[in-house]
Structure 1
Amino acid sequence: MRIGLVTWIGMGNFGTTLQSFALCRKLQMMGHDVYFPMQCIPSNPIKELVKKVLYFFGYEEFRRKHEYALSNPYNGLKLYRFIHRYYKIKTPYSMRNFKRIVMNTDMFVTGSDQIWNVIHKFEPFMFLDFAGNKKRIAYASSIGLSYFPSEYQEQVKELINKFSYIGVREQTGVDVLSKLTGRSDIIQVLDPTFLLTSEDWGDLCNDSTYEIDLPKKYILCYLIANNCWYKEQLHDVVAKTGIKDVIIIPSAENPNVEIDKTVIYRYASPIEFVDLIRRANFVCTDSFHAIALSINLSKDFVVFKRFLDTEKNSQNSRIYDILSHYKLMDRLYEKVHAKWTSSIVYDEVMKILDVDRKKSNDYLINAIGK
């Protein structure tokens, strides 16, 4: 099948990039031809002609490389090379060209991450509003919240009900969308990063390159928020684990992170991001995807709470969902009752993950095959 995969590719957010990479790679492993269609913004005929000429002379690729380089002087080009190597991106130069791309596609799949978080941004493109009579499949699409704001409910309901199959990432999403649409066939599936096994991720890590010497034993720290209490919590983690060396990968949301007695590694591409988790003795994070990869790679980890539970737009529900599902709620940071200091017994966790992975693989096979 020729599949158009609609999701955020990611500029500097590692989780966003890795979820799109993982779903694309899994679909390719299943034998499908997968590409990423970019949204077409209508313009006048003269601008479309100019864009067409520039497209055929390679300007689009030059522009993308320049954009990545400017986005981060440390790892922008590394990220560009990753995208250029592993992604097939189709950027239409006109509405006519876009319609031709759609016509030559067998089906469209929406990917993971919070593409249906309408508070972050309501983007009809992510709901496949352009797909016409083509089959629509949602795989691990996430709303990131426990509700849909009333002003978007009717539009979302209409768009969602055009999907043949709907698999969402969190149980919260199943409940919210089932109530909104009245459908009983919406199911929970794995985040795409779980579709690849630890061996699959290990193969990717063979291409990692470093500008520093890695310590033999270290804590990998990846924090999206810049909460004032994180510094004290990290120092407590160091004290309780006894691991002195800490490597911090700055996030796109928190690029200027500075914590004393740590090494800030700013040159990570998605490959080094995974590899640093894989090699770490302990992981400290507030990121959903860093948690997912830590579980998939059987790493000990602790989770800092990025939001207060009382915040209206808190995204803690997806963190609670994944930890609760794998019986790892004790990995939430607590200063006094620090159960997170004990090593995780992964035998039972992997049994749950194996069942989940089979269910998610079967969902994809069934949805695409019919």
Structure 2
Amino acid sequence: MKVLLTTIVDNVNYGTYLQAYATVKLLKDRKCDVDILNYIRYHLTPEHMLSKVKNKGVKSYLHGLINIVLDAYMKRNLKKFLLQKNKVTPNFSDWTSFKKTLPPYDLYMVGSDQVWNTEHNHGVDGVFFFEGISGKKVAYASSVGIESFQKEDYSKIQTLLSDFSKISVRESFGVEALKNLGIDNVTQVLDPTLMLSKEDWRKIGKKTFRKTEPFLLVYSVEVNKDNETIAIARKIAKDRGLKLYLISPYVKFNSKLKVDKLFSLADTDTFLALFQEADYAVVSSFHGTAFAINFGCQFVTVAPERFSTRVQSILKLLDIENRYIHNINDIPPFDIDYSKVNNLLEHHRAVSETVFDSLIQN
């Protein structure tokens, strides 16, 4: 079966490429031939990013140009993890023109990540619905990310999803958001990264980390909450006698962070290697939470500024909602019982496997 997958592949974010890799692996394991749409959303194109600083003076222009170069470098640094063993289409930003060049596929799959988050994507993005394409369309673990859609988007989303034969989403909130549109045939499933076991990820990762001391790992996509997240991590590390490590795909300076080890501009393989060895993790990220769970790491998730439904949903599914904290006073005094968590994870993994199999059946 020849499959065309659309998902987010233009972020500076480890989870973006890990979820895409996992989805492709699930398809390949079922003997599918997979192409990934190499879509660059318009608001993330260099041209658009530069236009925002074009008329703001020389200093702003040069600063913007430096950021664009760094952004391109970091995306390439992370994306190579996905490109090493997988096929992608030529990159594009104009769907209207690009879809005319596509050959026919047996299956059109919308993947995970926040593909249906209309705030995150600056509106209803037709690429993530295969708008204008005829053929069998399905969705696996598509993330809505918000609790409800804007009413002005109801009609368009209803029309686009009426073409789908089967729909599954990543969050319970996504199920409810679609039900509010009158779409009832929706199933909640695991994010594709959780469909692979920790043993699978150990085989996939190309790097190992030589651990010389017990450490707490900090990973956050909430840049504005760095100080709060690190303060929480520092308290936990002190209480547990752990060194403090931080990983980021961005440029970070330890003069501000003051951690024991800083992994700045780190690639995706380094992310996997560190999560495998961490004794504790403080995260503010859905996929940081997912990999802490999958590797059996003690952790807390610091509440993000927005789109919190993604994390809350997986924690509720695995009955560990107490790991979701808002401030330093919320740190739970007890550890996670992973015997219970792993039993629930295996159950939901089996359910999600059945759903995934049903998506690719003729």
**TM-score, length basis structure 1:** 0.81
Q: 1:98 to 1:268 in 2, by over 3 A?
A: same
Q: 2:84 is paired with a residue of what secondary structure?
A: helix
Deviation at 1:8, TM superposition (A): 0.9
Structure 2 match to 1:273: 271
Q: Within 5 A, what are the aligned runs for 1:141-290? A: 141-180=142-181, 182-205=182-205, 207-208=206-207, 214-225=211-222, 226-227=224-225, 228-243=227-242, 245-252=243-250, 258-290=256-288
Q: Within 5 A, what are the aligned runs for 1:1-370? A: 1-39=1-39, 70-71=70-71, 78-91=77-90, 98-103=99-104, 105-121=105-121, 122=123, 123-132=125-134, 134-180=135-181, 182-205=182-205, 207-208=206-207, 214-225=211-222, 226-227=224-225, 228-243=227-242, 245-252=243-250, 258-307=256-305, 314-333=306-325, 335-336=328-329, 338-339=331-332, 341-370=333-362
CA distance in structure 1 between the partners assigned to 2:350 and 2:176 by the alignment? 22
Deviation at 1:267, TM superposition (A): 4.1
Deviation at 1:240, TM superposition (A): 2.3
Query: Contact 2:249–2:264 (CA<8 Å) still a contact in 1?
Result: no
Deviations 1:223-258 (A, max 9, x none): 111224233222212222221x11111255x85684
Q: 1:214 to 1:267 in 2, by over 3 A?
A: farther
RMSD of equivalent CA atoms: 2.6
CA distance in structure 2 between the partners assigned to 1:351 and 1:8 by the alignment? 30
Query: Contact 1:69–1:77 (CA<8 Å) still a contact in 2?
Result: no
Deviations 1:180-205 (A, max 9, x none): 0x232111011010111111101012
Q: 1:80 to 1:365 in 2, by over 3 A?
A: closer
CA distance in structure 2 between the partners assigned to 1:318 and 1:82 by the alignment? 24
Residues 79-88 or 122-131, more deviating: 79-88
Query: Contact 1:6–1:36 (CA<8 Å) still a contact in 2?
Result: yes
Give the fraction of aligned pairs with identical amino acids, expressed as a percent. Answer: 26
Aligned pair count?
329
**AA partner of residue 12 (structure 1):** V
Deviation at 1:336, TM superposition (A): 4.0
Query: Contact 1:249–1:266 (CA<8 Å) still a contact in 2?
Result: yes
Structure 2 match to 1:58: none
CA distance in structure 1 between the partners assigned to 2:133 and 2:252 by the alignment? 37
CA distance in structure 2 between the partners assigned to 1:69 and 1:80 by the alignment? 15
Q: 1:153 to 1:357 in 2, by over 3 A?
A: same
Residues 263-272 or 149-158, more deviating: 263-272
Deviations 1:311-362 (A, max 9, x none): xxx31222211111111112123534632x4332111111111111111111
Structure 1 match to 2:53: none
CA distance in structure 2 between the partners assigned to 1:171 and 1:107 by the alignment? 25
Q: 1:113 is paired with a residue of what secondary structure?
A: coil
Deviation at 1:24, TM superposition (A): 0.7
**AA partner of residue 316 (structure 1):** S
Deviations 1:269-307 (A, max 9, x none): 212111110111111101010101111111111111122
Q: 2:113 is paired with a residue of what secondary structure?
A: coil
Q: 1:268 to 1:214 in 2, by over 3 A?
A: farther
Query: Contact 1:21–1:86 (CA<8 Å) still a contact in 2?
Result: no
Deviating runs (4+, > 6 A) in structure 1?
92-97
Deviation at 1:179, TM superposition (A): 2.0
CA distance in structure 2 between the partners assigned to 1:231 and 1:201 by the alignment? 27
Q: 1:247 is paired with a residue of what secondary structure?
A: strand
**AA partner of residue 179 (structure 1):** N
Query: Contact 1:68–1:76 (CA<8 Å) still a contact in 2?
Result: no
CA distance in structure 2 between the partners assigned to 1:247 and 1:299 by the alignment? 15
Residues 89-98 or 324-333, more deviating: 89-98
Q: 1:143 to 1:96 in 2, by over 3 A?
A: closer
Q: 1:345 to 1:92 in 2, by over 3 A?
A: closer
Deviations 1:89-131 (A, max 9, x none): 112789787435342x111100111110111222111111032
CA distance in structure 2 between the partners assigned to 1:283 and 1:231 by the alignment? 11
**AA partner of residue 238 (structure 1):** A
**AA partner of residue 175 (structure 1):** E
CA distance in structure 1 between the partners assigned to 2:318 and 2:275 by the alignment? 19
CA distance in structure 2 between the partners assigned to 1:343 and 1:17 by the alignment? 30
CA distance in structure 2 between the partners assigned to 1:97 and 1:321 by the alignment? 35
Q: 1:89 to 1:186 in 2, by over 3 A?
A: same
Deviation at 1:6, TM superposition (A): 0.2
Q: 2:164 is paired with a residue of what secondary structure?
A: coil
**TM-score, length basis structure 2:** 0.83
Gaps of 5+ in 1: 42-66, 308-313
